[in-house]
Amino acid sequence: MLRRAVVSSAKTKTKREELLFWTGVVEKALFSSSTADDDERKTGGRKTKKKSPKIPTPSPLPPPPTTATSSSSKIVPSENHIEGTRHIFPVSDFLKENKEILSICGLSFACAMGHGILAPTIPSFASTELHLSGAQIGSILSAFAAARLCVNTPAGYFADKFGRKKLLWFGPMVTTMANMSTFTSGSYYELLGARFLAGVGSSMYTTGASVSLSDIAKTENKGMMNGGNAMNMHQGAALAGAAIGPGLISAMYALGGEDIRTPFLFATALSGSLSAVALYAAPETKHLSSSSSSSTTTSSTNEGGDETTTSTTPTSEKKTQLLQPGGSMTMDASLTLNKDAIEKQKSPSASADSRQLGMLVKRSDFWSVCFLNSALFFAGAGGRGAVLPILAISHGMDAQNLGMLFSAMATTSLIGLVPSSKLITTFGARNVIAPTTVLSSLAVMAIAGSSTDAGFAAACVSWAAASSIMGAAPMTFVAEIAPRKASGAALSIYRNSGDVGLLLGPVLSGLAVDFFGSEVALAMNASVLVSAALAFHVSKTSREKMKKKEMLQQERHRSSK
């Protein structure tokens, strides 16, 4: 029955196309004859010789779809799909086209789950087991950021030169050793060193994952999702892991006893498994960046100097373009080839990388989005990581209630990625960043002004919602403006800026709480967010005005010629 339906639809489509074709031919002939009659009236009855319209021969119709059947009468779809038919396995096609993105998202999910397990456990362990002061706990949290700050840039250059996959599996291996050291630590300095080592592993993995996503986002495969959706999916996987991680702590205590060190063992096993899976399943995306940049764009100009045609020519075909039609090479072409050979001996890839990176660091919008990333991490580590627990204790919350609050905030951030992806796709990443940052600052002020437990919890969830609406817009913006050859270095600079905020946020927020109170500390975090949003908006607007001015100058130059 299905085979008959397919063949019948193909025949019906063929007849409809033939009918539409000959209808168009007849209408064209009638229109031409009526035009000839009008011309005859205008010339006073004198007939002018006109060529009869040529009736084009119909192009051969596409062959009907191949419906080869086997003993089980299965229909095999042809390569020339009939219009209106659907793919039989759209889910499998999506998984096949986006397997690199999905694999990285799965790894990031597991990595974020481990961080979610450790985030509420480490402060409690340092306070109850090691009896550390608030300043010492803050320094332990800052050690993680200090390690990331030291490793981000070397890891970015490592990814550009040796590939991304090595970082994806070796980073979790380092994290495994750090988690085991955290489990066995018995003093302040041992815990400090363990968390520094954990920051090293986290930086290595994050660098590999970010550069891999940047490579995938810049490919021209139509089956893949765009860069903004890819970044949002990756952030969604990370937020899902961060939401599930704290919720598993109660189950860990039920399985491993009431020992506060029990979550460290689960985190160690998780990171070790992640390293083994990444070693065998993580994708290597360096070839995506190198293959897309192996071609150069050439253009031809007319007599007026305007650009008329643009073509993409592979680098290996440049030599053939220097040959004359007869096959002989001109003197200028020979000198050009000799010059190119000399430049190749001087490591042209390194010079091209440094030149592209130099162009990027001159952009004010790049540094403004780096400052904004630093402000986001400042408020996240300082306001959410240091000030919120203190306020939660003042509202009567214990460690389990605080973990549930963090899980609710992470879940809200995960849900908010759906509208965030739509906003980034519709308006662009650059137009989403500033408004959502202002919303986050308003939510922080609402937390500072809350007087009831319900209001405090609602304000915390609203902060998570505002941050989730922003989604991966800042990172997507960096991936869009970063040159292909310097994407690793650009993203490492971007992450370095975030780690600066991650390093300074807990320290300065803790000092503000000690000297001025929690409300003033939250107000300081809100002001940092507003300043970053304003700086990004100003830099974005100024660059857009500069582009318009350049376009106007080019138009005036062309019109003068």
Give pLDDT, residue 311. 42
Q: How far is CA 555 from the centre of its chain?
A: 35
Question: Alpha helices of 309-432 — where are they, by DSSP H?
Answer: 318-321, 331-345, 348-361, 364-378, 388-394, 399-415, 417-427
Give pLDDT, residue 320. 38
**Cα–Cα distance between 144 and 182 in angstroms, integer?**
12
Give pLDDT, residue 90. 58
- In this structure, the dihedral spanned by the alpha carbons of residues 326, 327, 329 and 333, taken in order and rounded to 10 degrees, is 100
**311, containing H or E segment:** strand 307-314
**Cα–Cα distance between 285 and 217 in angstroms, integer?**
11
Which residue, among 338, 463, 352, 451, has the nearest Cα to 395 in the 3D structure? 451
> Are 157 and 489 spatial neighbours (Cβ–Cβ below 8 Å)?
yes
> Are 174 and 201 spatial neighbours (Cβ–Cβ below 8 Å)?
yes
Rounded to 5 degrees, φ, ψ at 117 are -70, -40
Give pLDDT, residue 173. 95
Q: Look up tokens 């919890």; give the residue.
A: 457
Q: Which residues of the chain fall short of a pLDDT of 50? A: 2, 6, 41-42, 47-50, 66-89, 222-223, 293-346
- DSSP secondary structure of 280-300: HH----HHHHHHHTSEEEEEE
Sign of CA dihedral 190, 129, 268, 380: negative
- Tell me how far CA of residue 495 lies from CA of 198, 234, 371, 509, 555, in angstroms: 16, 16, 10, 21, 39
Which residue, among 374, 385, 377, has the nearest Cα to 513 in the 3D structure? 385
Contacts of 527 (CB under 8 A, 6+ apart): 441
> Are 58 and 18 spatial neighbours (Cβ–Cβ below 8 Å)?
yes
Q: Look up tokens 């904004």; give the residue.
A: 372
**Cα–Cα distance between 122 and 183 in angstroms, integer?**
10
Give pLDDT, residue 444. 93
**Cα–Cα distance between 118 and 534 in angstroms, integer?**
34
Q: How far is CA 96 from the centre of its chain?
A: 19
Q: Look up tokens 């042209």; give the residue.
A: 348
The residue ranges of every structural domain in the chain are: 2-70, 97-290+360-546
**Cα–Cα distance between 468 and 242 in angstroms, integer?**
13
HSE toward the beta carbon, residue 3, CA cutoff 13 A: 10
Give pLDDT, residue 87. 44
> Are 420 and 469 spatial neighbours (Cβ–Cβ below 8 Å)?
yes
First to last CA, the chain: 68
**Cα–Cα distance between 369 and 433 in angstroms, integer?**
9
Which residue, among 378, 371, 376, 363, has the nearest Cα to 497 in the 3D structure? 371
Look at the chain and count its residues: 561
> Are 76 and 67 spatial neighbours (Cβ–Cβ below 8 Å)?
yes
**Cα–Cα distance between 225 and 471 in angstroms, integer?**
16
- In this structure, the dihedral spanned by the alpha carbons of residues 382, 176, 246 and 243, taken in order and rounded to 10 degrees, is 80
Which pair of tokens denotes residue 60?
């051969």
CATH superfamily of 97-290+360-546: MFS general substrate transporter like domains (1.20.1250.20)
Q: What angle do CA 62, 66, 72 make, to 5 degrees?
A: 165
Which pair of tokens denotes residue 21?
């074709």
Do the bridges between strand 307-314 and strand 295-301 make them parallel or antiparallel, or are there none, so unpaired? antiparallel
